[in-house]
Every structure is written in C-alpha cells, then in structure tokens.
Structure 1
Amino acid sequence: MKYRVATSSLNLRDFPSANDNSKILTQIPFRHTVKLIEKTTSDWWKVKLLNTDKEGFVFSQDIEHVDETMDQIADIEVPNFEPGSKGSLDNKLETYKPLGDPAIPFRDLTSVASKLSSIRKIIDTLNVSKSFRYEKDDSDTYCNIYTFDYCFFAKVYIPRLRWTDTAIEALENGNEVPLVFGETVRPFYSNYIYDWFLQSANTFGWERVSDVDALQKKVNANGGVGVICAKRFILNKSGHVVVVVPETETEKAFRLEGKVIYPLQSQAGMDNYNYFSEVRKDWWDSKDPEKGYSSAIFYYHD
C-alpha cells in the first residue's frame, strides 16, 4: 500500500518519535510516495522510500493514501539522492546530489517574515556569483544545479534526475530500480525541466502563473519560490531556468508604471548573479532562432 507526503516536507526517522531519541534519516519532499511497511502505532508508521533501500518512521498524519488504480505515476517517481558528503560550494563533485553542508540554512516556514529572512540567508550562503560549484566551464553552465540547490534549501521539490529508458522499462514491469548515476538515472537539464513543470509540477505543489508581475507579487507577499523556465528553439542547446526571489530593501525588480517588467531573479548561467533584474531584461522572450527560446513558463510554490 502506498502513501504520499501531504506536507511541504516530511522527516524520515530511525525511531517512531520526534523527541531527542530519534535521528532524522532524510527529508521526503511534498508529494513523494512511500510504501507502507507497518502501522507501528497510531501516530508513527514504518515506511520505505520507493526505489531505495531506505526505511524509517514517519508521522502518519502527514501522509495520505494513494489510489493506485487512479495514479500510476508513483511507480516511476525519481527520488533525489540524499545529501552528499563530497560535494560543496568549492568543488563540482557529486553535483547530482543535494549539498550536505550543515552551514547552509533551510527556509524557515514558521511565518512570512521567517520565510523572507531565511531566503535571503540561502541566497547569501549559496553565493552563486562566487561559488565554484556554479561557475561555468568549457563544457557547461549550471543553471539547473543552482535552481535545484535553491529549491532544495527552500523546501520545495524539483527533479535533478530522470530515469534512463532501460530503468523506466524495468519500473513499468513492476521492478524496483536502484539509483545509480549514469546507469539508471541521468541529469534533468533545463529543456526537460520545462516539460516536467507542464506535466507534473502541479502534483508537487507548484502553481502556474500568468506573468512575471503576478509571480513577483506572490513571491514578495508569501515568502514563496518562483521559477522562470525557458525552452530552446534548438533542443540540443541548453534551455534556461532561474529562480524569482523576494525583493529586499536594496534589491528590486524593475517596474514600469507600477508593473513588474523584469522580476528580481537569482541565477547561474553564462553569468552568475545573486540578484538581478534589469541587466538581462526579458531574456526569456528572446526569439533569436539560434540563441532564443521557443516558449517560457512561470511557476510559483508556497
């Protein structure tokens, strides 16, 4: 029997308790699926993460039953790797895993004020403009990795990996498949992230927004997470994805007649910015057939 996480994230613990006797094994993102092993108590159930060997205990009121006759997508979800010990802001090791650095803060969901304050701390700590992890090289830029890291610490889900065709075939045949980077899973690049947003993001708490003015207003008012994702005309060229972030006293979106034209963003790419707005104008609307984008989408998550 399968269940889904019904809160923004859920702690998987090694012991059925939230007190000091239990250790948090990992955090399960919103809408990720777990397999029920045992209803150990009325409050704490033992579960297994799909396609991993990770088992532990979750608070039963924070998960909801999945109707498997109506929802088959749970079997092919890609749970992200657990935070790695090798990757850091100073290297490019294990960029397919979340950062495991305890010095990087998570978004504090207690109140709007705490969300806004902690988002500023995340941006300052990741420091995309100077961190080697996101620095472009001869072969690639790293907009998807920075966006993934930002969302991970903001406690919202976007995929970093996707199954290989062989792995999908095995999953569709009812088999469990281990996460092995380069063998069973491969990176989610920006063009694929665009498709994921349209196909699956709403089941993970994302809401499509009509324009950048509405997106900036939501991010500012709620301390939420905004994303702009653009897909290339030429699909073998990388698309682009950025996060839209709350305005601060010193960092502002660009407005004309009170309407946001260029939102306040944070990105890795050909150039990396902790904050920017006017400097790249409406980059997502470029229709250059060689360098431009066929379409762009705007999404928001509380």
Structure 2
Amino acid sequence: MPNAADMQWFKDQFQSAAEPSLTGTPLTIDLITALACQETGEVWPILRKKGLPVADILRLCVGDTIDASGGRGAFPKTKADLLREPQGQAIFTLAHDALVEMAQHIPAYAQVARKPDKFCHGFGMFQRDLQFFKNDPDYFLDRNYAQFASTLGQCIDELKRALKKLGFDTRTSLSDLQLAAVGIAYNTGRFIPSKGLKQGFFDGSRFYGELLFDFIQLAHTVAPQAQTPALPPAADGAALLPLASPVTAQGPMFRVLTQDGMLRLRKAPEVSDPPQANVIAHLPVGHPVRAITGKRVKGFLEVETSLSGGLLRGFASAKFLEPEAHDTAVPVIDAEAAPPSTGIVAVYMPRKSGVTKRTGPANAHSLNEPRQPGRSGTTPAQLCDELAAIIAWLAVDDPAHQRYQPHSGLTFCNIYAHDYCHLAGVYLPRVWWTGKALTLLAQGKPVEPLYGDTIAEVRANDLFRWLRDFGIPFGWRQTGTLTKLQQAANQGGIGIIVARRKEDGKSGHIVMVVPETQEQTARRGADGEVTAPLQSQAGASNFQYGRGRANWWNGEEFAESAFWIHA
C-alpha cells in the first residue's frame, strides 16, 4: 500500500503539472494523489523505488486483467469481445504485452502474465478502462496513457462528470468526505449518500471509498519541497484526524449575554417540544459567535462558532446576543499534540500490587491484565482492527465481566469508557485531582496521589466537566456533527458522546463511538449525514455495538451534552 514517502514522490514529480488542470474546480491535488494511490498504488510505488525513469513508470501503470472466460459486465467481457472489434487484435496484443512487461517488475502479476489469454483493461496512472476503446481507440493504441498530461486529462474529465452528477460542479471547495464521494462516483458511476464511504470495489476488508478517504487524509501530510503540509503526520498508534475547522461565516459578530445559564444553540429557529430536543450545543456567557447573514428568523439568528475546537452552526435567540464592538475572528482551539508533563498532569489510582481484571468488581484502578490488547497501528485499517479487538476483549456484555455489570441501581459507563480509552493509549481519567491538589499543581508544587484527599473517582458528570476543562491539553477536542464524530472513529480515532445530568446526584452518561464494521454500521439519512453513530457502552444495558436510543443525549434529563474526539 502506498505510504507518505510514495505520495511525496508523486507530488514532487507531478503537482506543478497537475495544478493548472484543477483551476476553477473544487478538485484538489490531494484527491488526485489519492486517486493515483488507489488506482495504481500497487505498481508505481514499487517502480519508483527501483529507480526507473518517470516515462517508464507511466508506461507501466497498467493493471486489472481479463482472460478468455471474461467475468465482468462492461466491454470487453472476454478476449473474443475485444477481437471482434476493428483493430481488436492490435489492442489485445498491446494489452497482453503491457501486462507481461509490467509483471517483470511487479511480482504479484508474474503468474497471471504467463497466461497467453490474459490482458489488462486498466491503462494509465488513473486506470482508464478498456471499455472506452470503442469510442477512443487512439488513446490506447497510441499509448497516450503513458503521458501524464493525457492520463490526468481523462481523469479530470471523468471527475468533472462526477461533480455534475453529485451537484458539486458549482462549488468552489469540497470537504474531504465530499471529495471521496466524487471519487466513488469516478469509480462506480454513482454515489449513494446513505451508504457513506462503504461503496465501490471491496477488497475483502475495506471499500474503495474508505480507502480513498484514507489516502486523501494521508496526502494532507505531505507537500512538495519548500512547501508546508496541511497536516502533521500521526504518531504510531494514533489516528490521523483533520485540524479543527475554522469559522467561515461573514456576518456581524456577537457575544452571548444571558441572564442565567448558558445559551442553547438549536438546529432550527424555534423552541422545540421538549425544549432540549433540537439543541446542538450550550454556549457559555461571553462566548463569541458570528452571524451567517445577521437577518432574524422568528427571533433567532443563524450563527456559526467554535467551541473547544468543534465547529457549530445553528440558531440562537437574538435577545441573548450582544453586538461585538470589535470585528475579530472567532478563536479556534485545537487539541494539544502531547499531554502535559509538568503542572496538572495525568493521574491514576496508586497500586501497591495485584491485577485489576474485567471479572473483578468495579473499582478505581485501571486494568492491568496480562496480554491485554492495545493500539499501535499506522494505518486506519490497522487502528480500526485494534479498536475492534479491544471491544471484543472487554466484552462489556459478558456477564462474567462483573466490572461493567449494572447492579443495585449502579451503572458503569464511566469505567467502560476509561478502560476503552486506556487500552487505546488515550487518557480519560478514572480518578482525578481534587480542587486542593489542582491548586497546588498549578503552583508547581508536587502532589502525591492519595485517594479521598488529593484524588477522587470520576463519574460521567465529572467526565463531562473534565473534558470541558482539561480535555484540550490531553489531546481531546469537540466536533460539531455526528458525521464528523463517526468519521473520526472510522479513521481509528477515539470518539465520545457525553451528557451531564440536570440533577447532579444522578448519573450522566458516556458512550464510545466506535469504528463501523461490515456487519455493524451507523445510521445515515438520505443526505448521507449520520443520524445515529455506532456506539459501544456500559450502562443500564451493556452492548459491544449498537445505535442506542435515538438522540439520547438530548433527553430532558440532561443539562448539556457534547461530542469529543481524540487521535
């Protein structure tokens, strides 16, 4: 599979040549790089490491094979189909010889190339298919596919058709998910929003759309020499997640000014029944927002803002918004790359000896069983597989795992969330410093963790506050939509939904949002937006995978809720 070094080579060789073709479109060089990786990534990375000239590499970018028995729907289904066409023998000879020459360098193709009836049907770095031979024979017979400008031109033309089909042709920019949708249409001829990225060719593990999105993300981490990449590379065992989104609204600035409590940001310009049902977020007093237009709708203003790194867009009651005297940008806070090593640092329940097991009763210690799984992968597929292994190993629904089983009115969503994060190498506290200890730590003084004195157990309500107050320094940030939350999990990252109860003595709730599998998926609407992410939880009911009660975090029992992600 192509890596960042391969993408670096591709951009060094071709970015300057490709950029003029992208002008006036929402297509990006990172999409083009990702398509090259997806279409012929099993060929050119090997060839470039062998030191072949660029011209030879381009000529040898062929693949996908057909033989006399066929086995596909498009022309040519078989060798006989091809031979019946004018110049059919010439193109068959070219397509077979191209396979043989390429296989001299790519061992995976050596066996198939020895079969005399086998021939390629994908030509060029972006794999224009032989089905177009009837209408454009010269592209193949004259080996135009071996010229970068020519193969790119065919790719751009097909991408433009996909843009138009998806209604994106008038856009000036697209999100990475939208670019991946364009790529899926490039591959299959269509895109079904409700299926998300699970579309296109399936390699037995991941779909074309999923792999293409992975490549788009990875392409953000490399740039031609003397240029700065859009994203820093991810550390081993961590997901590559996008940076916090900026506020792009251009309307007037306001600040939240409520008489008591926080301001509800709503999906629609109306108070829902019950009032919490259409709430997106709660904005604190003094928080800056920027209006979309500044025009009131039923007493509401549509606004955009950033809260703990999460881009939020919704409707706020205009009577609780005060015009800002100075027109400044809404600040966007992103997660810290590394947790603090001095001052207010991570803390765990001290352990004198012994092993904390899933089969034991709930307590304040973190798990330390022998051979417990972890997360160390370097690709989204590896990270997702490791998170799936963590879920299976924790087996929250196994009655033998007493640590998570509800009893006597007690539930343990907080402990399950801690254990999942702990195994994944992410800090979510099981115990945290008391107020006294935090004061001393902030002064730079040493503090010994003493249960009941300087540390105390944290529950779901406490975790809501901890994420708000300390999440950013420990690598957490909010995200504004369920779609972004699910996609972060699908990249092998850590996702959380947490809700704080109105009555502080009663339990809040926290669930993990986990990577989708072939069997277990999130629910998406007809527009492709996630309406119910894939969740894993302990609580009144324990399940490894599920969608939970619809919008449970907006229940009237909760004062506020938030979506959080961590690499």
Q: Same fold (TM over 0.5)?
A: yes
The structure richer in strand per residue is: 1
5+ residue gaps, structure 2, are 1-233, 238-335
Partner of 2:498: 229
Partner of residue 31 from structure 1, selected from 326, 338, 344: 338
Question: Where do residues 207-218 of structure 1 align in structure 2 (5 Å cutoff)?
Answer: 207-218=477-488
Alpha-carbon contact 1:170-1:176 (below 8 Å) kept:
yes
Partner of 1:97: 365
Partner of residue 269 from structure 1, selected from 539, 542, 545: 539
Name the SS for the 1:280 alignment partner: coil
- Which deviations, in whole Å up to 9, do the C-alpha atoms of 1:134-163 show, x marking residues without a partner? 111215211111000000111111122122
Alpha-carbon contact 2:340-2:473 (below 8 Å) kept:
no
Partner of 2:512: 243
Partner of 2:402: 132
**TM-score, length-scaled by structure 1:** 0.70
Partner of 2:347: 79
Partner of residue 145 from structure 1, selected from 387, 392, 415: 415
Alpha-carbon contact 2:339-2:475 (below 8 Å) kept:
no
Alpha-carbon contact 1:30-1:157 (below 8 Å) kept:
no
Alpha-carbon contact 1:194-1:231 (below 8 Å) kept:
yes
Question: Where do residues 1-302 of structure 1 align in structure 2 (5 Å cutoff)?
Answer: 31-34=338-341, 74-81=342-349, 85-92=354-361, 95-130=363-398, 131-171=401-441, 175-220=445-490, 222-257=491-526, 258-277=528-547, 279-287=548-556, 292-302=557-567
Amino acid across the alignment from 1:295: E
Higher relative contact order (CA 8 A, sep 6+): 1
Name the SS for the 2:521 alignment partner: coil
- Give the 3 Å change call, closer, same or farther, for CA 156–8 of structure 1 in structure 2: farther
Amino acid across the alignment from 2:523: F
Alpha-carbon contact 2:447-2:454 (below 8 Å) kept:
yes
Distance 2:425 2:379 in 1: 14
Query: Once the 2 structures are TM-superposed, how far is the Cα of residue 109 of structure 1 from its aligned partner?
Result: 2.7
The structure richer in helix per residue is: 2
Give the structure with higher Rg (CA): 2
- Give the 3 Å change call, closer, same or farther, for CA 82–166 of structure 1 in structure 2: closer
5+ residue gaps, structure 1, are 1-5, 10-28, 35-73
Distance 2:443 2:520 in 1: 51
Amino acid across the alignment from 1:251: Q
Amino acid across the alignment from 1:31: A
- Using the TM superposition, name which of 266-275 and 98-107 deviates more: 98-107
Amino acid across the alignment from 2:565: Y
- Give the 3 Å change call, closer, same or farther, for CA 197–172 of structure 1 in structure 2: closer
Alpha-carbon contact 2:346-2:427 (below 8 Å) kept:
no
Query: Once the 2 structures are TM-superposed, how far is the Cα of residue 31 of structure 1 from its aligned partner?
Result: 3.4
- Which deviations, in whole Å up to 9, do the C-alpha atoms of 1:15-52 show, x marking residues without a partner? xxxxxxxxxxxxxx973444xxxxxxxxxxxxxxxxxx
- Give the 3 Å change call, closer, same or farther, for CA 168–207 of structure 1 in structure 2: closer
Distance 1:173 1:259 in 2: 46
Name the SS for the 2:370 alignment partner: coil
- Which deviations, in whole Å up to 9, do the C-alpha atoms of 1:196-239 show, x marking residues without a partner? 2122212222221102122112211x111100010111112111
Query: Once the 2 structures are TM-superposed, how far is the Cα of residue 195 of structure 1 from its aligned partner?
Result: 1.4
- Which deviations, in whole Å up to 9, do the C-alpha atoms of 1:59-105 show, x marking residues without a partner? xxxxxxxxxxxxxxx42334224777332010126x32221112320
Distance 1:272 1:125 in 2: 14
- Give the 3 Å change call, closer, same or farther, for CA 253–198 of structure 1 in structure 2: same
Alpha-carbon contact 2:414-2:459 (below 8 Å) kept:
yes
Alpha-carbon contact 1:8-1:155 (below 8 Å) kept:
no
- Give the 3 Å change call, closer, same or farther, for CA 33–87 of structure 1 in structure 2: same
